[in-house]
Amino acid sequence: MGDPFRVRVTVRGYELDTQGHLNQAVYLQYGEHARWECLRAAGISQDRLLATGVGPVALEVTLRYLRELRGGDEVDVSCAFRWGEGKTFHIDQAYTRADGTPVATLTGVGGLLDLAARRLVPDPRERFRALATDPGPLNL
């Protein structure tokens, strides 16, 4: 497995809280942005997912803050899928300043929801593999 997929985000002023650092909820948005960009890099758009009747869902998210981010800071957010057996998969994300300083980590458990049945698909790994035009970013 190579380096994880990553996307760079610049912290915007309206994302700051009253202490002048990135609002805690925005870290979750950055993580989600990186996950969607990872899917897009694999050739899986939201439209493609909807057309096939499935959508990714977050089942558990743990965020650990290590350093603050302030307006104008640049942060790289990685996204690494870990596959196992069953209906769920794991995602590991690292938030790192452009200078390499670790800022936060996010770990999560996800699934792929059948939008008609409203149940998790039995094998999300294979479904993502079938949808991807480039499975590399998803570690498939």
Q: Residue 56 phi/psi, 5° resolution?
A: -70, 145
Whether residue 67 contacts residue 102, with contact meaning beta carbons closer than 8 Å, is answered with yes
Q: Which of 89, 107, 102 shows the shortest CA–CA distance to 28?
A: 107
Query: Looking at 17, 47, 114, 123, which residue is catalytic?
Result: 17
Q: Is residue 123 annotated as a catalytic residue, yes or no?
A: no
Question: In angstroms, rounded to a whole number, what is the distance separating the alpha carbons of residues 68 and 22?
Answer: 7
Q: Which residues are catalytic?
A: 17
